[in-house]
Amino acid sequence: MTVSLPSHPHLDFHDNNNDQCQRIQNAYTHNLGWKHLRSLRTSPTTLDYRQTTIRNNKYGLDTLLFVLDGPDQAAAYYPLMCRFGYTVHVIVSGAERGLSGSILKTTLEKTGCDHRVILHDVGNRISATGDEETWSMEMASIVTRLSRVFRPRATFYIQRQHPLSHALKTMAENEKTVAIGLPADDVIHALWISDLPLEALEQWHTPDINLVVITDRRPHSLSRLLQSAERSFFLGDQVNLMIHMEQSSDAVTRMHVGQFPWQHGKKILRHRIRKGGLMPAIIESWYPKHNDDYAVILEDDISVSPLFYVWAKYSILQYRYTSAQTKEEEDLRKMMYGVSLYSPRNLELHPAGRRPFHPDNVLLNHYPPRMPYVSQVPCSWGAVYFPEHWREFHEYLTIRLMDLSQDQLLNVTVPKSRSERWKKSWKKYFIELVYLRAYVMLYPNFQSFESFSTNHLETGTHVKTNVKRLNAISAFLVPLMQRDTILAQLPNHRLPTYSDLPVLDLWGYLRTHDELDETASQWHTRVSTCPRTTGTFDPQDLLCPFPPPEVPVPEPPKKPKKIKTVYAVEPIEYVTMYNNNQQQQQQQQQQQQQHIMDEEYVPQPIDVAIMPSEPDDGSNLWDDHWLDLLGELDYMNELYNRVHSRPNEDLRDILTADAELDLD
């Protein structure tokens, strides 16, 4: 059978090559005969690949693909697909589904968004008859064929309960490409996707972020937290919820977590049978399965912003999955151990006590407004923790606590830190680790301390009276971000590169990574005898105790002379004799001590596997960090009264004055 190919009446082969290429492309695109042939094909042809080569030479190799079914999906994705700086292919389902390519093209031209968008209307290639499932399979088949030609780095579609969403997801798995399905309402909160490098975008599904909730017997607080999390935007990701209940959790709490519906992933419940206290509850609540496993750790008196997951996902993709420009930046990124959801109003580690804190007082003269920063201080009021650092902390804390209950050979301290008073707080030991490793955590810095989590300072184990809570809550409660202004407030409307982030130490002073590392290196020699190692996430070099003080070896007693005693009545001779066994034992002890002194001391880290275990008595260990907070409520009440007694004075002036007093 002979098929005569349609010709284009205006095709002139006597023109120059560039003109010929342009005319061939126009003929391929607009000629009705070619359109008919393309509609009959189900796999790419040589001419398809030729057109791909022409487009790649013109626009570059990096492309993205959007699949739009109807005007609602086009309206949802329009703000995002117009932000990219490279070629975007858009496949529309045609006029039969409510959106033709010509209408979308006209819209793009009117808004100046057509210079990098290439439209493909496939409505005439799909049979109008049949159910939604049949139509979806045909649509997915066409998308598969075209994606093999375009080779997009990522394919976007609207995630919904529809066969097309499932078909596109299956297509991506079979073709081993990245398909990103966003709910229509979530797209507007993911515009920062266009700022990510393509290698980070290709890792969209790699991070596995879990919600870890610790609760005891505050069902009302727990309900507030869970409801705030349920209303959040999860960008179409599957997010597991793990709830850990203390042994003393009441029946209302257990019933509530059992009946609470969680639509965004799996719900996993754990209940202790022996009282553990806050430290085991936090530390044992999560252990990373792999290096792409993350946890948002939340206590039950926390509530979260609907945008908390957006902030966490954006930060993780930006600083964990974006290629570093230099080897130095790559090494520095390993120092980040988490992302805080909370913007602190206070500094808690000054020896004199808690001090008010405003990041503008530190950063404003050196960095643009609203610049996020990294700080060494770990956040316990809503934060994402990274797997390598949390695994290292697990091992470090295990050995530290075992040593404290046994030989107490380790002498790990942080100089001039108030955390040294906290003997039973998990943050004390995390602060030790971050100080000796020069680790840092990312903190938000939005207007008026706007945050993605806040603490309600609930009455309970540490805050005994509601009066103290109400008087001091203004010093800890921060506003939650309800309206998405993340990009609007960030400098240059995007997260800065890691090397541009300000660095603060444990006491809120501006430092550099090199200064933190130098301080850690110098202090390491004071707490451990092993040489310092970095970048391995292995705490063994921190756990080499110094030898105990040398005990002087007593000189062996001299053998006494025989003493002859003469008595007037009757001569009696007394002789002092020594037991031979006792002499041998003394000689053996002397030889052992001499052998220890002569042997060259080789420092060895403590091995927790060979240390004896103490039985758990089930006692409830109080968290000294919270006890410190309880003891300072009077100071916070005083600050509250000062603010309301001086209405004409700005709060920032009062905070600045307190900071200057602390510096003195």
pLDDT (tens digit, 9 = 90+) per residue, 437-491? 999 999 999 999 999 999 987 755 445 555 555 656 777 899 999 999 999 999 9
Residues 291 and 242 in one domain: yes
Beta-carbon contacts of residue 44 (< 8 Å; ≥ 6 apart)? 145, 146, 148, 149
Say which CATH number the domain at 70 has. 3.40.50.620
Beta-carbon contacts of residue 31 (< 8 Å; ≥ 6 apart)? 6, 8
- Classify residue 649: in a domain, yes or no: no
* Residue 287 backbone class (left: φ over 0; alpha: ψ -120 to 50; beta: rest): beta
pLDDT score recorded for residue 87: 87
pLDDT score recorded for residue 649: 56
Q: Per residue in 47-96, pLDDT tens? A: 455 555 555 544 446 889 999 999 999 999 999 998 998 889 999 999 98
* Structural domain count of the chain: 2
Residues 379 and 291 in one domain: yes
Q: pLDDT-derived band of residue 663, with 50, 70 and 90 as boundaries?
A: very low
Q: Name the token pair of 597.
A: 């002194």
**Cβ neighbourhood burial of 510 (10 Å; 0-12, 13-18, 19+):** middle
Which of 24-38, 98-112, 545-559 is modeled with the greatest confidence? 98-112
The better pLDDT of the pair 278, 225 is held by 225
Q: Which of 656, 25, 14, 660 is nearest to 360 (CA)?
A: 656
Of 500, 515, 541, which closes a domain? 541
Residues 140 and 224 in one domain: no
Report the C-alpha gap between 68 and 74 in whole angstroms: 6
Say which CATH number the domain at 310 has. 3.90.550.10
pLDDT score recorded for residue 438: 97
Of 155, 189, 223, which closes a domain? 189
Q: Would you say residue 582 has pLDDT above 80?
A: no
Query: How many C-alpha atoms does 293 have within 13 Å on its Cβ side?
Result: 12
Q: Which of 606, 592, 609, 593 is nearest to 546 (CA)?
A: 606
Query: Which parts of 270-373 fold into alpha helices (H)?
Result: 278-283, 308-320, 327-333, 360-363
Report the C-alpha gap between 298 and 381 in whole angstroms: 7
β-strand partners of 176: none
Residues 215 and 136 in one domain: no
Report the percentage of the chain scoring pLDDT > 90: 56
Report the C-alpha gap between 514 and 520 in whole angstroms: 10
Q: Would you say residue 376 has pLDDT above 70?
A: yes
**Pairing state between β 336-340 and 440-443:** parallel
Beta-carbon contacts of residue 292 (< 8 Å; ≥ 6 apart)? 206, 207, 208, 387
Of 541, 561, 589, which closes a domain? 541
Report the percentage of the chain scoring pLDDT > 70: 73
Query: How many C-alpha atoms does 104 have within 13 Å on its Cβ side?
Result: 31
Task: Please state, rounded to an integer, the average pLDDT across all residues of the chain.
Answer: 83
To the nearest 10 degrees (0 to 180), the angle between helices 624-631 and 426-437 is 100
pLDDT score recorded for residue 334: 95
Domain with 341 in it:
208-541
Q: Per residue in 141-162, pLDDT tens? A: 999 988 888 889 999 999 999 9
Report the C-alpha gap between 366 and 123 in whole angstroms: 56
Report the C-alpha gap between 341 and 339 in whole angstroms: 7
